[in-house]
Chain A
Amino acid sequence: MILFKRADKKLFLMLFALMLFAILPELLMPLYKATAKIGQDLVYSRAPILSLLVEHIWLTLFSSGLSAIFGIMLGVLVTTKAGEDFKQVVTMFGSIGQTLPPVAVLAIAAGFVGYGTKPTLIALFLYGLFPIIAGTIAGLNAVGRDIILAAEGMGMTESQIFLKVKLPLAAEVIIAGVRTSVVINIGTATIGAAIGAGGLGAPIMAGLINDNFPFIIQGGVAVGLLAVFTDRLISLFEMRIRAYRT
């Protein structure tokens, strides 16, 4: 329990730092002054960091939420008797999908759908699908034969076995898949700025193009904090599930 409390405190601190920085990016002014070239803007002014953060969170949450719904459904489907035929191909799909470079997926989506939020969402959704599918299948597969046999022996129906035995046991691995997916999507959404998706990638991209280091820091620090915070948050959730189970 002490472990959780400490982790919670760290998490809270991180959230606080993220919010503070998003509202007041001027906090790091000395760093900006030290790294900026003469005559450059010190603070990204096209949009406040806070609204970019909100945009970024929305992008990831929306796409990852969809990926989670579809990914888990697909993973569950192929591990049932009805979907058995497609298990191999979907597993293969999941593992090959994870090797695809996110930039390439994003670029191809932009090539078809055009620029802006829409292709980014599509790419994030597709790309986020793979780790979740892989995690769901792996998690459900890992549930031991004898456990299921025991459940059958107790007279549970197929759906009861799924809801009361398989799903709770696989939950940890499934959530781990979701975590991977969300963290990757936060990163990919950042690159989405290159196709005009907005979000925290915008100041970084602007900084890279105009050689303006303060902009890079503003976007980078915010997105870095967001990613690390989200990763920790979901890990904590995983740990809770594990602790609850044992």
Chain B
Amino acid sequence: MIVGLFMAPLLSLKPNRLMPGDPGYLIDIAPLNDILLVLSLLVLFLIFANLLSWNKHLKLFMCLILSAIFYKIITISGDVALVRSEADFLARTAFTTGFWLFVAGYIVVMMQAFATVIEKKYDIKLLIILLTIAPVGLLFFNGGVGEISIFKELMSKQDRFLLEFKNHLLISGSASFSAILIGIPLGIYSFRHQRLSERIFGLLNIVQTIPSIALFGFLIAPFAWLASKSDFLDSVGFSGIGFAPAITALILYGLLPIVRNTYAGISSIDPSVVESAKGMGMTSGQILIKIQLPVSMPLLMNGIRVSFVQCIGNTAVAALVGAGGFGLFIFQGLGQSAVDMVLLCAIPTILLAVFADTIMQFIIKLTSPKGMDYDTD
């Protein structure tokens, strides 16, 4: 982290959007008192980190110091960007290796702090999360930051960005939703027909194993053929590229975790529980609704979590068959070597996946029946 801050260039000072820039080291670009401030904060942090080694009460204080350093670095960068773009409006100032190394270290330290908080202390955990993202939030109050390349990129593509964001959510949401609608009954079906279940799992396993991009590709021709054969399908926008093959492939991908976990959840129930339910006069429908599904809920929801998170990532690949979403910018950016554009969408994709994962973990906790401590992993 410290290496990143001082040894590697913090910013890349580019003459324009696409040309490579000159390295800008923190020492060179920042005013002296800012450097001193950052340095003294760092020293403070190191003293705490080493001497007091993660003492409970100082953990929060340390996170605060680190958070402050992060904020300071961003504002320094913002100021530099502002000055440069006032001088030459084509000039771009971009974050580079040093900055990202710092961010990586920053996240690791914050995670370490987070991970060592005792399980039940939700307020402290929340505080750490807030401290971690606060510097980014504070950015909006600093004029210069808008002049940093990646944010400039965001401003100039704001509408498209929002559109693809919506697309991304729409595609992965509808694919996941369909996968749930198909996957749960399929899981129940495989439990009830053990003979067929082997085949179902064999097939789904192969689908999961085939690289996503190949699966997307495979679906193009059949879909194009279908569209060419049926005027109706053609008229509703069904074609070889776009939503239809993307969503189909995503659903196929999403099935395995859901089907597998539904099956595993129901199988994990002690047979005597089902026998006594039956002996008490429950119909098989009642047994499913009142016993089997609720008891397997944690495992089932975990399957949905894996499926959904995976789907968000695969949706980015779906852009290759013209489905839209963040993947569109990522691949476009890669094609044009426009790093900022790539990052602009790759980072939100990651955040989206991590966010979805967190939300799902939370939902799993909520929907797990009381009285059972399940290990969902």
* Same assembly: yes
CA distance A194 to B329 in the complex (A): 13
Distance A89 CA – B114 CA, assembled complex (angstroms):
8
B364-377 vs A, CB cutoff 8 Å, 1 = contact: the mask equals 00000000000001
As a 0/1 sequence over residues 94 to 138 of chain A, the CB contacts with chain B under 8 angstroms (1 = contact) are 011001111111011011100100000000000000000000001
B65-104 toward A: CB 8 Å interface, digit per residue (1/0)? 0000000000000000000000000000000010010000
Contact partners of B357 in chain A: CB under 8 A: 96, 99
Which among B209, B339, B350 is the interface contact of A183 at CB below 8 angstroms? Answer: B209
Q: Chain B 330-360, CB within 8 Å of chain A: the 1/0 string?
A: 1101100101001101110110011011000
Give Cα A194–Cα B336 distance, bound, in whole angstroms: 11
**Of A107, A112, A183, which contacts B333 at CB under 8 A?**
A107
Q: CA of A92 to CA of B215 in the docked complex: distance in angstroms?
A: 31
Residue of A107, A187, A217, A219 touching B330 (CB-CB under 8 A): A107
How many residue-residue contacts, CB under 8 A, span A and B? 139
The yes or no answer to B206 lying at the interface (CB within 8 A) is yes
CB pair B100–A112 under 8 Å, yes or no, is yes
A104 and B168 alpha carbons, distance in the complex (Å): 14
Q: Which of B215, B217, B357 has the most CB of A within 10 A?
A: B217
Chain A residues with Cβ below 8 Å from B217 are 204, 207-208, 213, 216-217, 219-220
Given contacts A208-B321, A216-B220, A227-B209, whether A108 and B214 have CB atoms under 8 Å apart is no
CA distance A115 to B115 in the complex (A): 35
Inter-subunit contact A204/B206 (CB<8 Å): no
A88 and B116 within 8 A (CB)? yes
Pair B317/A100 contact, Cβ less than 8 Å: no
Chain B residues whose CB sits within 8 angstroms of the CB of A92 once the complex forms: 111, 114-115
Considering the chains assembled together, what is the distance between the CA atoms of A89 and B111 in angstroms? Answer: 6
Contact pick for B211, options A85, A93, A108, A224, CB 8 Å: A224
The answer to whether A227 and B330 touch across the interface, beta carbons within 8 angstroms, is no
Shortest Cβ distance from A152 into chain B, in angstroms? Answer: 25
Does B309 sit within 8 A of A, measured CB to CB? yes
What residues of A have a CB within 8 angstroms of the CB of B316 in the complex? 101, 103-104
Please give, as numbers and ranges, the residues of chain B lying within 8 Å of A95 by CB-CB distance.
Answer: 377
Q: Give B90-135 interface residues, CB cut-off 8 Å to A.
A: 97, 100, 108, 111-112, 114-116
Q: 0/1 per residue, A18-59, Cβ < 8 Å to B?
A: 000000000000000001000000000000000000000000
Partner of B221, one of A99, A213, A231: A213
Q: Which residues A74-101 have CB closer than 8 A to chain B? A: 85-86, 88-89, 91-93, 95-96, 99-101
Q: How many residues of B contact A (CB 8 A)?
A: 50
B320 near A104 (CB under 8 angstroms)? no
Produce 1/0 per residue, B295-323, CB < 8 A to A: 00000000000000100111011001100
B350 touches which of A86, A101, A186, A219 (Cβ 8 Å): A101
Find the A residue at minimum CB distance from B354. A99
For A219, what are the chain B residues with a Cβ–Cβ distance below 8 Å? 214, 217
Q: Are B353 and A35 in contact (CB under 8 A)?
A: no
CB distance from B314 to the nearest CB of A (A): 8
CB pair B115–A88 under 8 Å, yes or no, is yes
How many residues belonging to A are interface residues under a CB distance threshold of 8 Å?
A: 47
Task: Say whether A104 contacts B210, CB under 8 Å.
Answer: no
Specify which of B108, B218, B221, B346 is in contact with A104 (CB 8 Å cutoff).
B346
B148 to chain A, nearest CB (A): 15
Which residues of the partner chain B approach A228 to less than 8 Å between Cβ atoms? 206, 209-210
> CA separation between A157 and B54, bound complex, in Å?
31
A220 to B206, CA, bound (A): 13
Residues of chain B within 8 A (CB-CB) of A139 are none
Q: Chain A contacts of B312 at CB under 8 A?
A: 101
CA distance A231 to B345 in the complex (A): 31
Interface assignment of A177: CB less than 8 Å from any CB of chain B: no
Flag if B346 contacts A187 (CB, 8 Å).
no
| B155 at the A interface (CB under 8 A) | no
Select B313's contact among A86, A102, A183, A194, beta carbons within 8 Å: A102
Q: Are B350 and A190 in contact (CB under 8 A)?
A: no
- Residues of B at under 8 Å CB distance from A? 54, 97, 100, 108, 111-112, 114-116, 205-206, 209-218, 220-221, 309, 312-314, 316-317, 320-321, 327, 330-331, 333-334, 337, 339, 342-343, 345-347, 349-350, 353-354, 356-357, 377
> Told that A96-B354, A102-B313 touch, could you supply 9 new A-B pairs with CB distance under 8 A?
A100-B354, A103-B327, A104-B347, A108-B342, A108-B343, A112-B100, A183-B209, A204-B214, A220-B210
Which 7 A-B pairs give the minimum distances between C-beta atoms? A101-B313, A187-B211, A220-B214, A216-B217, A88-B115, A104-B346, A107-B346
Give the interface of A toward B (CB within 8 A): 35, 85-86, 88-89, 91-93, 95-96, 99-105, 107-108, 110-112, 115, 138, 183, 186-188, 190-191, 194-195, 201, 204-205, 207-208, 213, 216-217, 219-220, 223-224, 227-228, 231
